[in-house]
């Protein structure tokens, strides 16, 4: 049975379009998977700590099994987020585009879950860095909304979309390569423009339920 982790990244609550669309999927998914485990992780309205010097020292400590206790404490929240990610097989991220990328809370979450020895490995091959993903068997669905228009595949502004590429790249780096993006655009255009785009996104999401 599938287990889903829902990561919400908008700083907005009830007014958030990305959150609302993602919850349309969640409701349908729960109906299709009665009793399945669902966990929500808030990264848009709760503070996810940014990487600091202590985190870097602890995360890249050369003998991870012999990390001093204070360093273990510095990684405790990151450990929790990694365990949470690894214990679900479906990852749903809802996020707005913020300044051509993702909101800082979502970036902070990524920085917490991309962890040496837990979600990826690093070795040297003749002095050249090699990276190995450690996460297996997961699928991700990204639900994203944007104020502008044309950031999707083939769109005029696609090259400026550093949100989808960041998420696909970072998730792929740790081994989550099965990633589907559903977007709704034009929230800052005429109301009708966004309504049409959001309605299309909703239909796509409902059609995707059986694949997750
Ligand atoms: C700080 C900030 C930065 C934004 N940057 C962009 C942007 O670069 N491109 C874009 O199309 N829309 C941008 N927007 C608009 C949001 O992506 C859009 O309103 C989105 O639907 C908000 O999602 P939400 O309702 O889930 O919060 C920005 C909005 C905010 C608040």
Residues within 6 Å of ligand 1 by CB? 10, 12, 16-19, 96-100, 145-148, 187
Over residues 41-51, the pLDDT tens digits come to: 999 999 999 99
Going by alpha carbons, the residue nearest to atom 30 of ligand 1 is 98
pLDDT in tens, 135-145: 999 999 999 99
* Overall average pLDDT of the 117-143 stretch: 96
Q: Atom 8 (ligand 1): residue with closest C-alpha?
A: 99
Name the token pair of 132: 């190995």
Percent of the chain having pLDDT more than 70?
100
CA–centroid distance, residue 146 to ligand 1 (Å): 5
| Chain-centre distance for alpha carbon 166 | 10
- Which conformational region is residue 22 in: left (phi greater than 0), alpha (psi within -120 to 50 degrees), or beta? alpha
Reported as a pLDDT band with limits 50, 70 and 90, residue 1 is: low
CATH for 4-211 (3.40.30.10, 3.40.190.10, 3.40.50.1260, 3.40.50.360): 3.40.50.360
Domain extents in the chain: 4-211
For residue 80, pLDDT over 80 is answered with: yes
What H or E segment, with its residue span, contains residue 178? Answer: strand 178-184
Place of tokens 């989808």: 164
């Amino acid at each position: 049975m599938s287990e889903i982790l829902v990561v919400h990244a908008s700083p907005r609550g009830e007014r958030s379009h990305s959150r609302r669309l993602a919850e349309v999927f969640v409701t349908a998914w729960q109906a299709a998977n009665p009793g399945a485990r669902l966990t929500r992780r808030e990264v848009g309205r709760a503070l996810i700590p940014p990487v600091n010097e202590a985190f870097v020292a602890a995360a890249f400590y050369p003998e991870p099994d012999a990390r001093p206790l204070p360093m273990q404490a510095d990684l405790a929240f990151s450990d929790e987020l990694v365990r949470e990610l690894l214990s679900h097989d479906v990852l749903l991220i809802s996020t707005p585009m913020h300044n051509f990328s993702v909101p800082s809370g979502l970036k902070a979450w990524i920085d917490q879950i991309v962890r040496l020895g837990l979600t990826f490995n690093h070795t040297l091959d003749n002095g050249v860095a090699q990276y190995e993903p450690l996460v297996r068997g997961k699928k991700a669905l990204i639900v994203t909304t944007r104020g502008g228009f044309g950031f999707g595949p083939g769109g005029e502004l696609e090259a400026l979309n550093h949100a989808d590429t960041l998420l696909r790249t970072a998730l792929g780096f740790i081994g989550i390569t099965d990633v589907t993006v559903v977007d709704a655009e034009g929230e800052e255009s005429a109301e009708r423009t966004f309504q049409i785009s959001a309605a299309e996104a909703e239909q796509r999401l409902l059609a995707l339920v059986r694949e997750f």
